[in-house]
């Protein structure tokens, strides 16, 4: 299992966005993680379709769009048209999850579902076989630079078992507090993708940091 690393542009320098994206692409990042926040589902307000479109013009890396928004279905079409590769919505705001996953796929994107730290995995059990990505939040969403919540590790192990039992090939992604101290633990727990914002863009040398994070997932578990 190879760990995918998705630096979050929430921690990038927007005065130098193009050079930051080019840098992480050259450094071997697998995806670009785009945190969309609406100021309602989470307190912060961030990016929309225009930023996704701008990123699509800068890089060929897949755009991993995390939709921390209420009524996410209102954004599917515009985000897909702007260049999103994956659209991940939150189970907490998706009463028609099966339908919404289907719509994302109709638009040609991969379909992901995210769950907050206090949200039981039972909420996604019935759609596990339909997912392309399951995102486990290891911090409460809305802000970058938070500390990893320790009980996310048993939840990750449960999520891996859930996906395996469903025969799902979905990527198991984890987001929040990922750095040199936590990445090996989440990899051992079954994650095969991580979102790393501050750890990458806040490092003295982001290129070295990406290589180091990946190396920490290459030992024998």
Residues involved in catalysis = 35, 175
Nearest-angstrom CA–CA distance, 68 and 75: 11
> Running DSSP on this structure, what letter comes out for residue 132?
S
Range 35-39, long-range pairs (CB < 8 A, 24+ positions): 35/8, 35/9, 35/10, 35/66, 35/68, 35/144, 36/65, 36/66, 36/67, 36/68, 36/69, 36/75, 36/79, 37/68, 37/69, 37/141, 37/142, 38/68, 38/69, 38/70
- β-bridge mates for residue 169, sequence order: none
CA distance 136 to 159: 8
Dist CA 157 CA 42 (whole Å): 26
Spell out the long-range contacts of 100-107 with Cβ–Cβ below 8 A and sequence spacing 24 or more.
100/72, 100/73, 100/76, 101/127, 101/130, 101/131, 102/130, 103/73, 103/76, 104/76, 104/80, 105/132, 107/76, 107/77, 107/80
């Amino acid at each position: 299992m190879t760990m995918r690393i998705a630096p979050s542009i929430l921690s990038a320098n927007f005065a130098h966005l193009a050079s930051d994206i080019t840098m992480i692409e050259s450094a071997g990042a697998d995806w670009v993680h785009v945190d969309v926040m609406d100021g309602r589902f989470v307190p912060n307000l961030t990016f929309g379709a225009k930023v996704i479109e701008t990123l699509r013009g800068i890089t060929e890396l897949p755009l991993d769009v995390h939709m921390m928004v209420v009524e996410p279905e209102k954004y599917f079409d515009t985000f897909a048209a702007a260049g999103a590769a994956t659209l991940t919505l939150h189970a907490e705001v998706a009463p028609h999850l099966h339908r919404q996953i289907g719509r994302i796929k109709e638009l040609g994107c991969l379909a992901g579902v995210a769950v907050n730290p206090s949200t039981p995995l039972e909420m996604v059990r019935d759609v596990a076989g339909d997912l392309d990505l399951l995102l486990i939040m290891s911090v409460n969403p809305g802000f970058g630079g938070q500390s990893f919540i320790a009980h996310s590790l048993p939840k990750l192990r449960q999520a891996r078992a859930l996906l395996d039992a469903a025969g799902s090939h979905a990527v198991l992604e984890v987001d929040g507090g990922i750095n040199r101290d936590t990445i090996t633990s989440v990899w051992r727990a079954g994650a095969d993708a991580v979102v790393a914002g501050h750890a990458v863009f806040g490092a003295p040398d982001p290129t070295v940091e990406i290589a180091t994070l990946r190396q920490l997932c290459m030992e024998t578990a």
